[in-house]
Amino acid sequence: MRVKAVISYDGSHYQGFQKQKSTKMTITAAIEKALASLQIDSPIVGSGRTDAGVHATGQVIHFDLPDFWSDLEKLKHNLNRKLTDISFKHISVAANDFHARFSAKKRVYRYVFKTHKPSVFEHKYISYYEAFDPALLINALKIFEGEHDFNFFHKTGTITHTTIRKIYRTDYVERNGYHFIYFQANGFLRSQVRMMVDAAMRCARGDMSITQLQEQLTCQKKHTTKLAPPEGLYLSRIVYG
């Protein structure tokens, strides 16, 4: 039986979502270890990969259950007892052809930051940027909307069939001293969101012009390859159907 699970995790102590040969400290490795302890040997498949230090409030995974596991509430309870910094929010039966990654239609990332240094209780979960112009930030974010070749907005080293992605919507909101940037797209390349955030913030602080941002987005010239700090990034929602 194939199941779909919505999970959240604190990525602070992990080297990313994807399994790696060089370390066992990944979200995938931790979940598969917990599953194996419950006699579930299925690998998990995620809707997308997150970098080291990046969090999730709505990551979706799928895996296959042996016949003797039919009580999904009990399964969720047992997994949450065994896992640290990872929480199963929902587990539900899925169609046999459901695929957490390939069945997804939209992905939403949220970036959270402050303009003064976060406290010691926040610094693993909120990033820091110096004072900026919100109007310039909104203008910069709007540049990313639509379908573009993001070849100059991702880290290399991961095989991908195409660097073209469609961003349906961007948003910026400020609430009580916390700043939120949102990206909704059909998919993202490796570290694309972090690179877009930092480029937009450079425009918002006057360190880069909108023209330079457009030049990079149209693959004419690279003006920056820096990444926003991982602490403020959250994979927040996956949309299916």
The answer on whether 234 is annotated among ligand-binding residues is no
Which one of 93, 123, 147 terminates a domain?
A: 93
Interval 14-54: pLDDT, tens: 999 998 888 889 999 999 999 999 999 999 999 999 999 99
**What is the mean predicted confidence (pLDDT) over 113-132?**
96
Average pLDDT over residues 131-135: 97
Which domain does 58 fall in, by range? 2-93
Global pTM reads 0.94
- Domain final residue, candidates 42, 58, 93: 93
For residue 156, the model assigns a pLDDT of 80
Q: Are residues 213 and 149 in the same domain?
A: yes
41, 51, 64, 97: the active-site residue: 51
What's 88's domain CATH number?
Answer: 3.30.70.580
Q: What is the pLDDT of residues 100-117, one digit of tens each?
A: 999 999 999 999 999 999
166 has pLDDT over 80: yes
- Answer yes or no: is pLDDT of 219 > 90: yes
Residue after which a domain boundary falls, among 52, 70, 93: 93
**Strand 233-240 and strand 55-64: pairing?**
parallel
> Is residue 187 assigned to a domain?
yes
CB atoms within 10 A of CB 144: 21
- Residue 6 CA to residue 238 CA, distance in Å, equals 9
98, part of any domain: no
Q: Is 125 found in the same domain as 14?
A: no
Q: Are residues 116 and 232 in the same domain?
A: yes
Average pLDDT over residues 163-191: 97
State yes or no: is 64 an active-site residue.
Answer: no
Residues 13 and 57 in one domain: yes
Same domain, yes or no, for 114 and 226?
yes
Q: What is the distance between the alpha carbons of residues 48 and 165, in angstroms, rounded to a whole number?
A: 14
Whether residues 159 and 232 fall in one domain: yes
Structurally, the chain folds into a number of domains equal to 2
In a domain, 12, yes or no: yes
- Give tens-digit pLDDT for 56-94: 999 999 999 999 999 999 999 999 999 999 999 999 999
Q: What is the pLDDT at residue 54? A: 97
Residue 241: pLDDT band (50, 70, 90) is confident
Residue 140's CATH number: 3.30.70.660
Q: Are residues 83 and 130 in the same domain?
A: no
Q: What is the pLDDT of residue 161?
A: 86
Is the separation of the CB atoms in 50 and 16 below 8 Å?
Answer: yes
Residues 186 and 228 in one domain: yes
Same domain for 82 and 139? no
Q: Do 6 and 70 belong together in one domain? A: yes
- Mean pLDDT, residues 162-168: 97
One domain for residues 132 and 34: no
Question: Could you tell me if residue 16 is inside a domain?
Answer: yes
185 and 115 assigned to the same domain: yes
